[in-house]
Amino acid sequence: MLPTPDSVALAVAQFAPTTDAAKNLRDMASLADTAVARGASLLVFPEYSAFFEPQIGEASLAAAEGLDGEFVRGLAALAERTGVHVVAGMLEATDDPRRFSNTLVAVDPAGAVVATYRKQHLYDAFGQRESDFVLAGSIAEPETFVVGDLTVGLQTCYDIRFPEVTRTVVDAGADVVAVPAEWVRGPLKEHHWRTLVTARAIENTVYVAAADHAPPIGAGNSMIVDPMGVELATVGDDTDVAVAWASSARIASVRDTNPALRLRRFTVVPRD
């Protein structure tokens, strides 16, 4: 869609984070400048943006820090400098010396943390064992924040395979679901990514802004999908930023055509 007075420019930034935390922040700053130049008001970075090793291990554990640590301070400085809301994934220290939280942080243009999300479904699949080093987030009321006239919610990577997570975020009022990911490449994985991101947008009649790692480890294809399942913008396999315009008017129009949320007969109940 073309920008209108009430629309918000959503951006997804795709890059390949490494074990060099300082370089990751520099790369993010460069991508943020590109996003702002393209009009972005909300910028979504991938999961594990702060620090990433292909096989999670002791180095990841050592890199975990608090929400008052260097990464969040760097993210806050980036948001203040560029004047946009920023979402990114980090490794958050916990009381368990052997496990960290896979945490998303949302920072506003004043540099304040306005929402967090701790990954609820760990990637113990496709031969991986994220739970060896990561604590699953507790089930709690989703935290949201506002950009323009849109409410934004959060979830992480593997969570996208569980439709009830997105539904819970939407039930909390989200118009946009930001999905930072490290979607590992493999047989049919890119197909899964595209299908799942699009399905979550369609069935909830919301925008989904999904940011993945660039290849060769990530599948790439960071994308922004609208409430009717239209893929508005995609990065592909490069390090780059994709921007698309979102509006509450588009959501209202889609929900007038497809009132699925209103017609549904089931709610989400947490499993013990």
Q: Is 157 a catalytic residue?
A: yes
- Which is catalytic among the residues 65, 92, 130, 157? 157
- Count of residues making up the chain: 272
268 within a domain of the structure (yes/no): no
265 within a domain of the structure (yes/no): no
6 pLDDT tier (thresholds 50, 70, 90): confident
Percent of the chain exceeding pLDDT 70 equals 99
Mean pLDDT, rounded, of the chain: 97
Domain that holds residue 142: 8-260
Percent of the chain exceeding pLDDT 90 equals 97
Instruction: Check whether 92 has a pLDDT greater than 90.
Output: yes
Q: Is 189 a catalytic residue?
A: no
Beta bridge partners of 241: 13
Model pLDDT, residue 114: 98
Number of structural domains the chain divides into: 1
178 within a domain of the structure (yes/no): yes
161 within a domain of the structure (yes/no): yes
Collapsing DSSP to helix, strand or coil, 101 comes out as: strand
Range in 2-11, 149-158, 197-206, 232-241 with the lowest mean pLDDT? 2-11
- Which is catalytic among the residues 47, 65, 92, 130? 47
17 within a domain of the structure (yes/no): yes
Q: Is 190 a catalytic residue?
A: no
| CATH number, residue 49 | 3.60.110.10
Neighbours of 20 (CB within 10 A): 12
Q: Per residue in 257-269, is it b (16+ CB within 10 Å) or e — as a string? A: eeeeeeeeeeeee
- Which is catalytic among the residues 65, 119, 130, 182? 119
User: pLDDT digit string (tens) for 207-232?
Assistant: 999 999 999 999 999 999 999 999 99
Q: Give the global pTM.
A: 0.97
User: pLDDT digit string (tens) for 133-190?
Assistant: 999 999 999 999 999 999 999 999 999 999 999 999 999 999 999 999 999 999 999 9
Instruction: Check whether 1 has a pLDDT greater than 80.
Output: no
